[in-house]
A and B are shown apart, each in its own frame.
Chain A
Amino acid sequence: MLAISNLEVVYEDVILVLKGVSLSVPEGSIVALLGANGAGKTTVLRAITGLLGVHRGNITKGTITLDGEEIHHLDAPATVATGIGQVMEGRRIFTEFTVDENLRIGAHTADRGSVDGNLDRVYSTFPAIAGRRTQVAGYLSGGEQQMLAIGRALMAEPRVLLLDEPSLGLAPLIVQQIRDLIVEINQQGTSVLLVEQNANMALSIASHGYILETGKVVMDKPAAELREDEDVREFYLGLREEGAGSFRDVKHYKRRKRWLS
């Protein structure tokens, strides 16, 4: 189980970004972390994976543990070795590498003997990229690049997979594909912490959800309850109750017919 308790993170020694965040990802579950831009979602992931240093951030309080072992003082390579895999926001594949090389670099910390087996496993999970092994990764489509990024993280056989906005910039149909793949990966025994803006997608597969606002967890409920919550429906799912009035009534300017000429 990955557990974060009372985490405080400061950037540049002055900017307090996380103000006592606690959350946990139980073994074998999918947990969603939702929030608006700038809420601190990505910072939570950086704190877990030891990448805060790159961005001049520091953990000033709190602990992060994986199965009871403290991991917040480890650097990035050591964190990867403990079994935490990460798919970064915006995919961040190596565009000049081939698909094969991108996956192999993901296995950097893994056993050398396991690399070929894992390659086969990833290619069978993502048949879309299997046919493009020797192609330069930068020319893949957005969805394929996202699959490549997830596949790269799987190469190290992580126990916990951190996904940062895997739906970013993808068409709805591709988002569904990615969602199904996340479920499939989870069923193969990897716990998933899913950071998303697309609350609809995240809550449809997660068992538990956290909502982060300006560095604090403001709501923490099973995903099914979050889906029914009125505020969540309005602000994160974009749904409004019947009779709450429509935006048309609020508009103060005149609707005008416009003609195409």
Chain B
Amino acid sequence: MEELIASVIRGLGIGSTYALLGVGFVIIYRATEVVNFAQPALMILGAYFTAYYVFNLGLPFWVATLAAMVTMALIGAITERIALRPMVGEPPFAAAMVTVGVFIILLIVAFRLIGTTVITVGDPWGLERMDVFGIRIFQVDVAKIVISMVAISIVGIFLKRSRVGLAMRATALDQEVALAQGVNVGRMFGLSWAIAGALAALAGMLIGTGSGGVEATTAFIALKALPVIILGGLDSIQGSVYAGLIIGVAESLTRSYQPEFAPILGANFDVVVPYLIMILVLMVRPYGLFGTPEVQRV
């Protein structure tokens, strides 16, 4: 029992970082209808900058995290301005291909910066454990869950309540009408990339905490955000959160129990699980579990 709960909590921890990445995808998709394949590279650079600010500039951990988020927000907005603004009006598929190019470029930059070493982000949790109702769990998992959910809630409240958030949602629904209301649509595109960049930086920091550490190739872990957004529905922030947690837990449970119950599947089967879930979802509900239904008068 204890093992099960520990496994679930570990899954929720990693799942919440997937959720962060997924929300970044969703925000960009809703504003611009582009699937942003560069998100993993933004994540890895976010982890790098957090480590850089902590160890090379000697900033306190939390300040460094915020600074890395700001840095990645800027890089995200600049990327949008340079690479994607010219693609406005072109088919979304072409723009998605541009983001693949951006991904490769940023990934090469990350390889150059990080090299082959494993970097840690200087987090205060390390391998500390804590007791909750008699079960020993890693602090870092709790930190991942809490920080991700707080960050996603802030983004959600910003979109729901603020004036700019309303303008972003309007842009997502109908760009021409948003323009006619005086919304600067280009600025909203940039802002959506900035938010996605900041969330990616936060996710990168969280993945680098605890026993983990980050290599340049960790970027590929972030591709698990793809199953997340497919499962959650491309246009639903809520869906991303649930889907991130589901995928994280599924992965963690597989890692804990598959060697025992289904050894025939071999080692590291948990890596495949998110993609299996994605294929299943695509066969049954291609629009995801939480894709918002279109409002129609009858």
Contacts and interface: CB of A to CB of B under 8 A. Distances in A.
B166 A104 contact: yes
B157 interface: no
Contacts of B169: 97
Contact of B176 (A51, A81, A96): A51
Interface in A54-101: 54, 76-77, 80-81, 86, 88, 92, 94-97, 101
A54 B175 contact: yes
Given A96-B292, A139-B295, A105 B166 contact: yes
Given A96-B173, A108-B167, A112-B163, A139 B179 contact: no
A92 B175 CA distance: 11
B260 interface: no
Interface in B158-180: 163, 166-167, 169-170, 173-180
B263 interface: no
Contacts of B174: 92, 94
B67 interface: no
A139 B181 CA distance: 21
B116 interface: no
Contacts of A77: 179, 182-184
Nearest to B175: A54
B179 A76 contact: yes
A7 to B, nearest CB: 19
Q: Which secondary structure characterizes the binding site on chain B?
A: helix
B170 A88 contact: no
A101 B166 contact: yes
Interface in A104-140: 104-106, 108-109, 112, 136, 138-139
Nearest to A55: B176
Interface in B64-106: none
A95 B182 contact: no
B112 interface: no
Given A88-B177, A92-B174, A94-B177, A105 B295 contact: no
B173 A94 contact: yes
Contacts of A80: 180-182
B180 A49 contact: yes
B295 A138 contact: yes
Interface string B181-205: 1111000000000000000000000
A41 interface: no
A158 to B, nearest CB: 10
B32 to A, nearest CB: 15
A152 interface: yes
A156 interface: yes
B172 to A, nearest CB: 10
A153 B169 CA distance: 18
Nearest to B176: A54
Contacts of B163: 104, 108, 112
Contact of B170 (A49, A94, A109, A156): A94
A51 B179 contact: yes
A106 B173 contact: no
Nearest to B164: A108
A108 B289 CA distance: 33
B177 A92 contact: yes
B296 interface: yes
A104 B297 CA distance: 22
A76 B182 contact: yes
Nearest to A149: B177
Contacts of B297: 138-139
- Of all A-B residue pairs in the complex, the 9 with the closest CB atoms, nearest first, are A80-B182, A138-B295, A109-B182, A76-B179, A77-B182, A95-B295, A92-B177, A105-B170, A108-B182
Interface of A: 49-51, 54, 76-77, 80-81, 86, 88, 92, 94-97, 101, 104-106, 108-109, 112, 136, 138-139, 152, 156
Interface of B: 163, 166-167, 169-170, 173-184, 292, 295-297
15 contacts: A54-B175, A54-B179, A77-B184, A80-B181, A81-B182, A88-B180, A92-B174, A94-B174, A97-B169, A105-B181, A105-B183, A108-B163, A152-B181, A156-B181, A156-B182
Given A94-B177, A101-B166, A105-B166, 14 more contacts: A54-B176, A86-B180, A88-B177, A92-B177, A94-B170, A104-B166, A106-B181, A108-B163, A109-B181, A112-B163, A138-B296, A139-B297, A152-B181, A156-B182
